[in-house]
């Protein structure tokens, strides 16, 4: 992922967009954060947040015309949050006063501010904090301008005096009774001679009547010509804003904004910087933040017992609890993986980019990148279609390219895939008695591993119903390599399959697994691919179809079929034909989560995989119907009653198929290998070489479970014992009398503790490590 | 990598090929191009080494993962 692409993806995520209240506020008060403090009863922190944006919090809290409330998301449900009243509660109930702002070192440049209304005061405070030497010229005998017009019920003089003590703190010279005009006092020209820049915050008065001694352009109706974005005038040293721009439509918070933004321009002017660059997010704007209001019950605004005093603490906190604390987090809400790492895609993209770009040091995001199920549920719920699957897969491919992929991450799954595409399982045959194939059945590796007997039954059904010769191709589609970011390996698997298809006359592919179906559609665009499920929906069901209909089931859609309505509908249609009563999970079809097999999550991060599968199985008490063998087995492994749709059609030997646990890793290999032999023997009448009597092992259920958790295959155990017994290289544990042996077939060293009983080996323990021990006596 | 968790409590282990008890000695372990000296039980005759379970699944695994993320 290059820097540009990373930036684009980061910007795509809207989680860090401001909430509507903040975006609508002319000076962007972080009302959401302030209200969150009040919710916790922390008025000091609430005031500090308010004060971060507003230099005169006591004044603004009392006079603000609060456009934030008009924008408030809560208004779409019932009533807007009383943000202004909560601001006032912060000012009233905080045990601390406004903080002294952070001040830059003093500069030599001097700025004059004409008028001490909100815009002038704000411009003066902001510029003084930036280190400029600021003087305010006020025509009246006290500062405040139009603030003095508010009645005492709204704004007591005490509150004004308290906040204006900031002028002293900031070392601002306040000149009262100091009009700037042509009639006595100073003229603007004389001020300009003395100062490096001037801000005019002269209120609604027109230029003629105010007679400020202006040497700047004004319109016919007496208003100074002010450039909207920069607040500049016809004189480059003079800036103007505030009530003068709005006449008698007084908006205190807009006046404050004008003072602030004019101060930005004055600072840029005095530093010789561009007045116009990067100013597009100043003032009120439309936020891109999306916030779901689904499921939120209406609740009216908290009433105020005393309208003059404002909210009590109890009232303010009750009102703060109504705040939606607007966030997007749509993807994080539905994905245990995204929630596990306690952040959201914007941050994850940055972490993933840094992980990819780093040359020295630890790649701390490796595990996070390799844990994603690549199921794209995030994209399905994202208001802007951001897809973490694409980002994580791209990162995995880059790790493989740079040889930075941790060898342990996908090794087990890739060896499983290699097994499926080896002679042990791989097979391609035309139907007996046919020289060509109109279609081939590709059951995939996991149905063959979980329910090999169903593969034989489905194949028989297809031969009867499809016609024209239905061939059989056994193997793995390449999905594990694709998920592992191993492009070369994926391409090799697909290209080998494509060659096989070509040799068979390019027949239609019939898949049993949603992942195979999706992979073939994506990688073999010219091939005709269809699912067994679709064929079953369109054709009469076989006679074997269940008569023991479960009372109540619900469907778990496969994440690989997220956007495949045809397969989703087919499954529902089959259940309809069977007369099964079906209820739907809330998150079904395109919103279905992964079962934790996707993206090889369960091999990389069992902790997150457990959370993912646990959340899904806890959603309903009904038996789950899946149409992917891995979903079924993953649910069943957690004690969830789950059946593959095929379990209702081709009854397994078990009396209660929903209670069947899927086979472990070793048995999955064995099932595939036996399926191939069974097919060759029974369908093609090919006599296979006599199977050698395998080494007899005795493994207790506890040890079996240990092997499963540690991902150690029985075939590896056999290799260790065979090596130890033939080479005589093993250790004897004096206490237990057990033999301990190790063997490293390729990149993992396996240790097995065992004893023997006649020709049987009893397995007591096994473990492995990847680190290589350099043995021998050289040192 | 100096701890192996077995030095004091481990039962006597014998190399069946050489019929001799293992003793604690210096062994080199390596992964992804990095090598570390470790004290492990080994056969004084043929050099066969014993890696105990707690070392393999504890410290050794930690170091493997740290090296994989380098």
Query: What residues are paired with A776 via a beta bridge?
Result: none
Specify the pLDDT at position A184: 64
In a domain, A678, yes or no: no
Could you report the per-residue pLDDT of A676-708, keeping only the tens digit for each?
Answer: 999 999 999 998 776 678 899 999 999 999 999
CA A202 to chain centre: 49
By C-alpha distance, which of A620, A517, A502, A610 is closest to A563? A517
In a domain, A680, yes or no: no
Could B69 and A362 be called an inter-chain contact, meaning their C-beta atoms sit closer than 8 Å? yes
Q: Which two tokens stand for residue A512?
A: 């049993």
Could you report the per-residue pLDDT of A604-632, keeping only the tens digit for each?
Answer: 999 999 999 999 999 999 999 999 999 99
Q: Token pair 């934790």 is at which residue? A: A596
Q: Which two tokens stand for residue A672?
A: 């595939």
Could you report the per-residue pLDDT of A370-412, keeping only the tens digit for each?
Answer: 999 999 999 999 999 999 999 999 999 999 999 999 999 999 9
Could A739 and B16 be called an inter-chain contact, meaning their C-beta atoms sit closer than 8 Å? yes
The ipTM is 0.90
Nearest CB among A727, A733, A774 relative to B13 is that of: A733
CA atoms within 13 A on the CB side of A547: 2
Read off the CATH number of the domain in which A92 is found. Answer: 1.10.1060.10
| Beta-carbon count within 10 A of A271 CB | 10
Same domain? A571 vs A631: yes
Element (DSSP H or E) covering residue A110: strand A110-114
Could you report the per-residue pLDDT of A83-125, keeping only the tens digit for each?
Answer: 999 999 999 999 887 778 889 999 999 999 999 999 999 999 9
In a domain, A299, yes or no: no
Q: How far is the C-alpha of A44 from the C-alpha of A38, rounded, in Å?
A: 9
Q: Please say whether the beta carbons of A350 and A6 come within 8 A.
A: yes
In a domain, A684, yes or no: no
Residues of B in contact with A749 (CB under 8 A): 51
Q: % helix / strand / coil in chain A, to the nearest 5?
A: 45, 10, 45
Judged against a pLDDT cut of 70, whether residue A213 lies above it is answered with no
Specify the pLDDT at position A183: 67
Domain count, chain A: 6
Specify the pLDDT at position B11: 55
Same domain? A228 vs A136: yes
CA A322 to chain centre: 26
**Mutation to test the B interface, candidates A366, A727, A773, A778, most B Cβ within 10 Å:** A773
Could A771 and B46 be called an inter-chain contact, meaning their C-beta atoms sit closer than 8 Å? no
The whole-angstrom distance between A336's CA and the closest CA on chain B is 23
Residues of A in contact with B46 (CB under 8 A): 729, 776-777
Could you tell me the residue range of the domain that residue B34 belongs to?
14-68
Q: Where are the alpha helices (DSSP H) in A524-563?
A: 532-538
Read off the CATH number of the domain in which A117 is found. Answer: 3.50.50.60
Same domain? A500 vs A645: no
Residues of B with CB under 8 A from a CB of A: 11-17, 22, 26-32, 35, 40, 42, 45-51, 53, 56-57, 60-61, 63-66, 68-70
Domain count, chain B: 1
Same domain? A123 vs A265: yes
Q: End of a domain among A361, A379, A405?
A: A405
Could you report the per-residue pLDDT of A595-610, keeping only the tens digit for each?
Answer: 999 999 999 999 999 9
Q: Where are the beta strands (DSSP E) in A533-654?
A: 553-555, 582-584, 623-626, 642-644
Q: Which two tokens stand for residue A368?
A: 């996070």
In a domain, A577, yes or no: yes
Q: Which two tokens stand for residue B10?
A: 């481990």
Q: Token pair 């473990």 is at which residue? A: A767
Could you tell me the residue range of the domain that residue A517 belongs to?
420-539+665-672
Collect all residues with Cβ–Cβ distance below 8 Å to A342 and sequence separation of at least 6: none
In a domain, B5, yes or no: no
Same domain? A588 vs A439: no
Same domain? A162 vs A256: yes
Specify the pLDDT at position A738: 97
In a domain, B31, yes or no: yes
Judged against a pLDDT cut of 90, whether residue A551 lies above it is answered with no
By C-alpha distance, which of A417, A572, A570 is closest to A497? A417
Judged against a pLDDT cut of 60, whether residue A6 lies above it is answered with yes
For the entire predicted model, the pTM comes to: 0.90
Q: 3-class SS at B23?
A: strand
Same domain? A530 vs A596: no
Q: Which two tokens stand for residue A191?
A: 């001020």
Same domain? A261 vs A156: yes
Q: Where are the beta strands (DSSP E) in A436-568?
A: 439-442, 470-474, 508-511, 529-531, 553-555
In a domain, B57, yes or no: yes
Q: Please say whether the beta carbons of A573 and A606 come within 8 A.
A: no
By C-alpha distance, which of A677, A695, A697 is closest to A687? A677
Specify the pLDDT at position A264: 98
| Beta-carbon count within 10 A of A109 CB | 19
Per the prediction, chain A carries an average pLDDT of 94
Read off the CATH number of the domain in which A723 is found. Answer: 3.30.2310
| Beta-carbon count within 10 A of A294 CB | 4
In a domain, B28, yes or no: yes
Read off the CATH number of the domain in which B38 is found. Answer: 3.10.20
Element (DSSP H or E) covering residue A145: none
Judged against a pLDDT cut of 70, whether residue A227 lies above it is answered with yes
Specify the pLDDT at position B8: 45
In a domain, B9, yes or no: no
Region label for B3, one of left (φ > 0), alpha (ψ between -120 and 50) or beta (otherwise): beta
In a domain, A56, yes or no: yes
Specify the pLDDT at position A556: 98
Same domain? A450 vs A583: no
């Amino acid at each position: 992922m290059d820097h540009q692409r990373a930036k684009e993806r980061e910007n795509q995520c809207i989680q860090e967009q401001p909430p509507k209240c903040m975006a609508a506020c002319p000076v962007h008060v972080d009302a959401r954060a302030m209200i969150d403090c009040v919710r916790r009863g922390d008025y000091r922190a609430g005031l500090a947040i308010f004060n971060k944006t507003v230099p005169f919090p006591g004044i603004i809290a009392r006079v603000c015309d609060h456009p934030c409330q008009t924008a408030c998301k809560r208004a779409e449900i019932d009533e807007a949050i009383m943000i202004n009243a909560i601001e006032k509660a912060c000012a009233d109930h905080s045990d601390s006063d406004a903080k002294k702002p952070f001040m830059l070192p003093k500069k030599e440049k001097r700025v004059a501010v004409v008028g001490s209304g909100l815009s002038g005061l704000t411009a003066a405070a902001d510029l003084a904090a930036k280190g400029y030497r600021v003087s305010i010229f006020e025509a009246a005998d006290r500062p405040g301008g139009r603030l003095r017009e508010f009645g005492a019920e709204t704004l007591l003089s005490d509150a004004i005096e308290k906040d204006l003590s900031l002028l002293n703190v900031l070392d601002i010279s306040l000149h009262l009774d100091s009009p700037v005009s042509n009639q006595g006092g100073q003229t603007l020209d004389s001020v300009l001679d003395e100062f490096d820049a001037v801000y005019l915050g002269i209120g609604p008065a027109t230029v003629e009547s105010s007679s400020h001694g202006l040497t700047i352009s004004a319109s016919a109706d007496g208003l100074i010509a002010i450039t909207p974005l920069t607040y500049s005038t016809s004189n480059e040293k003079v800036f103007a804003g505030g009530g003068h721009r709005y006449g008698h439509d007084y908006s205190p918070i807009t006046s404050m904004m004008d003072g602030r933004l004019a101060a930005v321009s004055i600072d840029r002017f005095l530093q010789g910087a561009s007045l116009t660059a990067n100013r597009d997010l100043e003032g009120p704007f439309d936020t891109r933040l999306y916030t779901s209001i689904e499921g939120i019950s209406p609740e009216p605004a908290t009433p105020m017992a005393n309208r003059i005093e404002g909210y009590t603490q109890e009232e303010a906190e009750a009102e703060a609890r109504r705040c939606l604390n607007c966030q997007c987090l749509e993807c994080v809400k539905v994905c245990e993986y995204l929630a596990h790492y306690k952040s959201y895609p914007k941050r994850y993209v940055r972490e993933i980019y840094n992980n990819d770009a780093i040359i020295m040091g630890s790649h701390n995001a490796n595990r996070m990148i390799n844990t994603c199920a690549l199921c794209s549920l995030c994209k399905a719920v994202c208001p802007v279609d951001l897809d973490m699957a694409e980002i994580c897969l791209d990162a995995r491919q880059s790790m493989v390219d740079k040889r930075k992929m941790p060898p342990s991450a996908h090794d087990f799954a890739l060896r499983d895939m290699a097994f499926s595409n080896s002679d042990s399982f791989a097979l391609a045959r035309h139907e007996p008695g046919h020289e060509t194939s109109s279609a081939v059945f590709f059951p995939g590796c996991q149905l063959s591993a979980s329910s090999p007997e169903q593969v034989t039954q489905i194949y028989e059904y297809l031969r009867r119903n499809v016609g024209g010769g239905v061939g059989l191709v056994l193997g793995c589609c390449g999905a594990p390599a694709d998920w592992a970011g191993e492009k070369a390996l994926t391409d090799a698997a697909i290209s080998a399959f494509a060659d096989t298809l070509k040799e068979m006359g390019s027949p239609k592919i019939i898949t049993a697994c949603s992942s195979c179906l999706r992979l073939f559609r994506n990688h073999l665009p010219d091939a005709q691919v269809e699912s067994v499920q679709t064929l079953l929906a369109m054709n009469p069901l076989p006679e074997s179809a269940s008569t023991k209909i479960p009372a109540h089931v619900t469907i778990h859609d496969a994440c690989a079929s997220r956007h495949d309505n045809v397969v989703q509908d087919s499954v529902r249609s089959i259940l309809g034909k069977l007369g099964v009563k079906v209820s739907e999970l809330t998150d079904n079809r395109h919103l279905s989560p992964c079962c934790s097999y996707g993206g090889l999550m369960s091999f990389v991060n069992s902790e997150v995989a457990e959370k993912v599968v646990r959340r899904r199985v806890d959603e309903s008490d009904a038996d789950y119907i899946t149409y992917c063998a891995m979903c079924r087995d993953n649910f069943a492994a957690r004690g969830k009653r789950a059946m593959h749709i095929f379990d209702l059609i081709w009854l397994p030997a078990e009396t209660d198929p929903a209670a069947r646990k899927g086979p472990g890793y070793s048995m999955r290999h064995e099932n595939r290998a036996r399926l191939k032999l069974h097919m060759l023997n029974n369908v093609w009448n090919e006599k296979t070489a006599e199977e050698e009597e395998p080494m007899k092992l005795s493994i207790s259920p506890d040890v079996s479970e240990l092997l499963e958790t540690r991902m150690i295959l029985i075939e590896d155990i056999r290799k260790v014992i065979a090596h130890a017994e033939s080479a005589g290289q093993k250790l004897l544990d004096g206490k237990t009398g057990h033999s301990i042996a190790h063997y490293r077939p390729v990149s993992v060293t396996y240790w097995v503790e065992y004893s023997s009983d006649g020709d049987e080996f009893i397995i007591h323990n096994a473990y492995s490590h990847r680190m290589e021990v350099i043995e021998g006596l050289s040192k | 990598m100096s701890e192996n968790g077995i030095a004091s409590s481990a039962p006597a282990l014998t190399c069946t090929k050489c019929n001799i008890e293992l003793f604690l000695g210096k062994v080199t372990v390596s992964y992804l191009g990095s090598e570390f000296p470790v004290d492990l039980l080994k056969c004084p005759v043929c050099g066969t080494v014993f890696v105990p379970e707690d070392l393999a699944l504890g410290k050794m695994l930690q170091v493997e993962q740290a090296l994989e993320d380098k």
